Structure formats: structure tokens, C-alpha cells
Amino acid sequence: MKIVLFTTYMLLITCVFSQSTVDSLLNLYNTETDINRQIDLLDELVVEAYNFSIDSSIFYNKIAVELSIKTDNYQLIIGQIRDLAKLYIYNSDYSKALETYQSALPFAELSDNDTLKGLVIHSIGNAYLYDSEFDLALEKYLEALDIRERINDTIGIAASTNNIGLIYWKLEQYDLALKYYNLSLISELSIKNNKGIASSYNNIGMVYWKINQIDSAIYYVRKSLKIKLDYNIDKRSLTDAYNNLGVLYRNLSVFDTALIYFNKCLILDKNNQDKHDIANSYTNIATTHSYLNNNTKALVFLDSAETISLPTKDYEILINIYDLRANIYAEKNDFFNAYKSLRKHIQYKDSVYSENITNQIAEMQTKYDTEKKEHEIEMQKQEILVQNLAIEQQNTKLSLQRRILFGFTGFSVAIIVLLIFLTRLFFQKKKANNLLKQKNIEILQQNEEIETQANNLNEAFEKIRDANEVLSLKNKQIEKQKNLLKEKNDFVESSIKYASTIQNASLPLKTEIDKYFDNFIIFLPKDIVSGDFYFFSTLKQLTHKDYFFIVADCTGHGVPGAFMSMIGIRLLNKYVNEYKIKSPAKILENINKDIFVSLKQYSGNNRDGMDMIICKFSKKDGSKFVEVSYAGAKRALYYFDNKKTEIQKVDATRKSIGGAENNNLKFSDNLLTLSTETKFYLFTDGLPDQNNVERKRFGTLRVLNILTQNIEKPLEEQSLSILLNLEKWQNLTTQRDDITMIGLKFKS
């Protein structure tokens, strides 16, 4: 009978789609006796129903969950529950998805399988993420990561660290987002998951975009794109890569390149037949043409975007179309059309607002209807209860009549006993009243004492109230001072952030370095601005080309260090690019003298200065060897030559640049001839000086050991190993100084 009812119900809900396929699957299900095969058939029904009715898919998946529980196969059970939760997510029912994921947790505990447990907890985090409960999602992802790291589940670690990075990205904590995206990349690289590697590179690029390091953002997004093209990964996601590169190049005002990527994106969007994406690409192309003052072309592409978006009521695109069109007409002094476009822009923004309000009202109505239905059910339950009580009372009445006769005699006896009891009670009560009068006199005396105490308390309360009023006034003054201080702090912070933008603009472009060297650059300011900086310049000579690489650590960090770094960059431009001094030692001596004069160190105790590494690489085209000229102020040069078995060190002068006592410092050049396969490492003391929770230094020896263990790997992977080891060592300890490290090798 149950099978017949089940089959009838499933036939009713599937009659609206693909009848023949569904009928065939249902017939197979009803005749199948093997439970695993039944579950497989239900999985096929879920897929078949999804394109027509997600509610039907959910129904079939629930049956599959119930059957899987009978198998005691925990992996199968959890898989079916996760599939059901995903359907709720697709249906935007996030609370139901969360409830479903949580129902899998007891099975994961019973399985005694930490891999399954980590997967379930991670999935619960996904439900919180979709519902924008970022704090709860982060808590679950970290819990899952702890399990996965304990059992060395590399695939799980990659997923958890990636989603933790996403949470921090949404919370605009970009330093933490970058940290966890890099950890995810390390895991993906270790298992050679090209799709995950491409995704990690793209995510890292998006973080650099948010912190306005556009060159780095382009570098990583292009790496992501290259992997997707090389391995034919997820063609649909290529549109995201092309679109992101278009936006990034447009931010750099490289409009021709931006148009190339936007047009590639448009071609793929047309192949995918995604109307929203096609309209979005048209709008991006139009926006770029408007920056180029090609307003006629911009309007043509906007017309194309409008033609696609109007029938689908794509308000998001239409709002952008009319906003841009209004600006273009305003620039052309065509104020009539500008006004018309602006009216439409406002109209569609209002439509979006109205639609949101309508959805909220619909949700409220649904809630009201549900509560009303529940109330009606409760009333019906109460009516049934009343009817049952009436029947019970009627039965009781009949029983009572039969017992009245037998009870009458007993009642008479009880009356006599009661009279005796009442007489005794009267005398006891009289005695109690006398005692009560005595107690009342005592209570009256106590009340007088309490009243006196109350008066004293009122006086004390008055004093406390006066004191509270004074305290409240002081609190208001403190709050006012606090707000004033916050305004000043916000102003100072915004100024420092702007200074950071200027400082970053003064650093060399990574894309310029990439032309000549395989490299990595670790640049981690302790504060918003940095006292560390690096410098790169190329000079063409008659027979060869010189490449200058300089890393410096200025006195202090934060704003004072940043000021010193700008002085250092200015002086390097002066002596390297203007005066074209070829000797690193001479450059150091000249900078030392300039700082002595610029900071008036001859007339005071000012000892500000900097530690500095200067390397000049001289190389003829096609040569397999490079001439290295090095001079350093307290910072050594490290390099690895394939002919050696360990990393070599070139010592520096044990004095810093700057300070009255160092006015006449002399430096000397160290000359080396090495293979172009040699790897060079330049870093400030911020990395080795970083302490852990036990206040022990990271140390130069540890840096060199990490490099030695990874010396055969590409420089980029060496960088990730350094960062990962630093993070484990630091373990949430505050960064104590600016950190800068650069690795170099001539391109093959």
C-alpha cells in the first residue's frame, strides 16, 4: 500500500515535465529491490526533475536520504544529505540548508572518520556564508581547518583556507584574505590541482586590486588565465578572467588593452548565450570608450546593452546604462537627452527599491498566513479537547448518581466530626489572635525603625543622584573628546593611507622587473607605510647593460621611516639615473654625505639613516655569465651558485648610512663573476628579527635553511615557503618591524 501511495504522489508532482523519462525511472524504482540501486535511480530523478521543478528534486532527494540511512554507509548518508542541502541553497532557503547540513554531523561523529567530520563542518560554514552570517561561517571554517591540518587532508586544507580567505575578503580584512589565499595556493600546488591553482591566483589578484596594487593584481589574474587556457579549465570562468583584466587595465588608464580583454569577454559571453553577461560586456566596452572620449561608439554599445536588458528587466545593467548615457549627453551639452537618461536611471533604481519592498511584504504575508494557519489548527485542537471534556463530565455524572446513596450516610458522619473539629479550632484561633496582637505591637516598633532608616537612605540616594549627574556631565565631556579624537585619528589615518599610495607609486613596477628576472618580492610593512623600500633601474652601456637592484631599511618604521624612504629613493634616482655612477660603493658614500647635510647632522644628535644593499649586475646579450658588483651598509648579499653546495654570503660594511660619527664612511665594491643561473637574495633585518610567542628571533640561519631546502624550486614557491614558515613562527605575534625580501635570477 505504501509503495502504491508513494508512486501515485510522485506521478502527480512530475506530470508537468519530461513524462516519458520520469515514468521510466519510476517504473524501474518500483520494481527494484536492491537499496543501493534504488538510491541511484532517485539520484537520476533528482537531476531529471531539477530543470523543471526544484521542489520535486528536493522530494526525491529526501527519499534518497531516508533509504541511505538504512545502509549504515556513513559516506553515502553524508553525501545524500549534502546533496539535499545544496538543493535548498539553490532554492535560496539557507535556514533549511543549514538545518540539513547540521543533521549530517551525528553521522560524521558515528563514522569515527575525521575526513567526513571536517567535510560536514566545512559544509555548515558554507550555509552560514550563503546566508551572509560571516562570523559563524568563519568559526566553522577554522574548526574544519583544524581537523584537516591534524590529519593532513591537503584537499580539505585547500578548500578551508580558500573559504577563510573569501570571508576576510568580504569583511575587507585584505591582509588576512591574502594570507589564507596564499595558504590555499600552497596546498593546491602540492596536489597539482590546476583548477584550484588558477582559482587561487585569481583570488590573490582580486585582493591586490582591492588594496590598489594594480600591477600585482594583473600579474596574478594573468597567471590564472594562462593556466585556464593551457589546461582547458572551466571555459565559462574565462569570461571572469577577461572581464577582471579589462577592469584592471582600465583602472591603470591602459584603455586599448582593456578593450581587447572586454571584447574577448564579449565573444565568450555570446557563445555562452548569457544575456546578463553580454549586456555587462557591452556596458564595460561603452564605459571604456567614454574614457577615450569616443562618445559616439560608447552610445552604440549602450544601445546594444539596452536592447538585451530591457526584455529581461535586468535592472542592475539598466541602471548603469542610463547613468553612463546621462553623463555622456551632459558632456556633449545635450541636456535634453541627458535629462531623459537621468530620469530612466532614477526610475529603474526606484523599481529595484520597490521590488525589494514588495519581496519584504510578500515574506511578511507568508509569515502571517503561516501563523494564522497555526492558530486555526490550535483552535481546532482546543474544540476537540472541550468536546472530550464534556463527554467525560457526562460519564462522571452518571457514576455520581449511583454513588450518592452510598455517600449520604458517610456525609452525615462527616458533619458530626466536622462540628467537633470546628469547636476545637475556635479555641486555638482565639489563642493565636492574642499572640498576633503582641506580634503586631513588635512589628509597629520595627516599622518605625525602618522608616527612620528609609529617611536616611533617601538622603544618601539624593547625594548619589547629585554625584551621578556630575558623573554624567563628565561622561558627556569625555564622549565629546573621544569623538573629537576619533575624527583626528580618522583624518591622520586617511592621510597615512594616501601617503601609502604615494609610497607604493614610488616603488618599481613588478612588470618591469619581470622583463629581465625571475623573481619574488616580499614587502610587508609593519604599519600602513613602510621604512623599507626597494629600487630597480636599468642602464644601457656600449657593450652591455647594467641592472641596479637596491634594498634599504630606514631608521624606524611607519611615518618617520616612510619619510626617510622617500629621501633614499630621491637620492638613488639622483646618483644612479641622473649622475649614472656605476660603483655601488661610491653611491653609498654620496648618499651618506647627502643625508649628513640634508638632516643637518653636523649640528645635533640626529642619527637617522639607513641600512642598504646595492647590487649592480652587468650582462652582455646572450652571455651565460654576469658581472656582479656589490656594496652594503650592514646588510649582506646571499647567492646560490649551482657549482656550490650551499648558499654563499658576501659580507657588508658593519656601519649604517647616516649619523654624525659616520660622516666620512668609506665603502668598497665586491666583484664577482657568476653564472646567469645563480639565484640572489636581498633582505632587510625585519625578517630575521621577527620574534615568536617565546620572544625568540626567526633568525638569518632559519631563513637560509628554508631557502636551501627549497633551492631547486621556482622562486615563487620559495617565497611561499618563507611566508608559510614565518606565519607558523609568528603565530599571531605582532609584527615588530617592516619586512622586505627579494629573490632574483636572470631569465633563461
Average pLDDT, rounded, for the chain: 83
More confident position, 183 or 43: 183
Mean pLDDT of 306-319: 88
* pLDDT tier, 522 (very low <50, low <70, confident <90, very high otherwise): very high
Cα 1 from chain centroid?
A: 53
The residue to which cell 512589628 is assigned: 443
* pLDDT tier, 434 (very low <50, low <70, confident <90, very high otherwise): low
pLDDT at 466 over 80: no
pLDDT at 554 over 80: yes
Separation between Cα atoms, residue 593 and residue 391, nearest integer Å: 110
Separation between Cα atoms, residue 413 and residue 692, nearest integer Å: 92
Mean pLDDT of 604-609: 78
Mean pLDDT of 384-395: 48
More confident position, 563 or 469: 563
More confident position, 420 or 476: 476
Structure confidence at residue 237 (pLDDT): 78
Structure confidence at residue 1 (pLDDT): 37
More confident position, 509 or 458: 509
Lowest mean pLDDT among 6-10, 192-196, 460-464, 571-575: 6-10
DSSP labels, 706-736: HHHHTTTS-HHHHHHHHHHHHHHHHTTPPP-
Mean pLDDT of 664-693: 94
* CA 682 vs CA 550, 553, 597, 635, 707: distances in Å: 8, 11, 28, 8, 12
More confident position, 233 or 679: 679
Check residue 602 and report its DSSP letter: G
Structure confidence at residue 20 (pLDDT): 64
pTM: 0.49
Structure confidence at residue 83 (pLDDT): 93
135-139 contacts, C-beta under 8 A, 24 or more apart: 137/163, 137/167, 138/164, 138/167
Separation between Cα atoms, residue 673 and residue 8, nearest integer Å: 86
DSSP, collapsed to helix, strand or coil, labels residue 137 as: helix
Instruction: With CA atoms as reference, report the closest residue to 638 among 613, 666, 620.
Output: 613
Separation between Cα atoms, residue 137 and residue 469, nearest integer Å: 44
Share of the chain above pLDDT 90, in %: 45
Lowest mean pLDDT among 156-160, 314-318, 730-734: 730-734
DSSP, collapsed to helix, strand or coil, labels residue 626 as: strand
Structure confidence at residue 501 (pLDDT): 78
Separation between Cα atoms, residue 502 and residue 493, nearest integer Å: 14
Class of domain 507-746: alpha beta
* pLDDT tier, 363 (very low <50, low <70, confident <90, very high otherwise): very low
pLDDT at 104 over 50: yes
DSSP labels, 151-176: TT-HHHHHHHHHHHHHHHHHTT-HHH
The residue to which cell 656594496 is assigned: 631
* pLDDT tier, 405 (very low <50, low <70, confident <90, very high otherwise): very low
Structure confidence at residue 159 (pLDDT): 94
Lowest mean pLDDT among 14-18, 45-49, 233-237, 426-430: 14-18
Tell me the pLDDT tens digit for each residue of 131-162.
889 999 999 999 999 999 999 999 999 999 99
Parse the chain into domains and list their residue ranges: 413-490, 507-746
Check: CB of residue 590 under 8 Å from CB of residue 639: no
* pLDDT tier, 459 (very low <50, low <70, confident <90, very high otherwise): low
Structure confidence at residue 397 (pLDDT): 47
More confident position, 341 or 722: 722
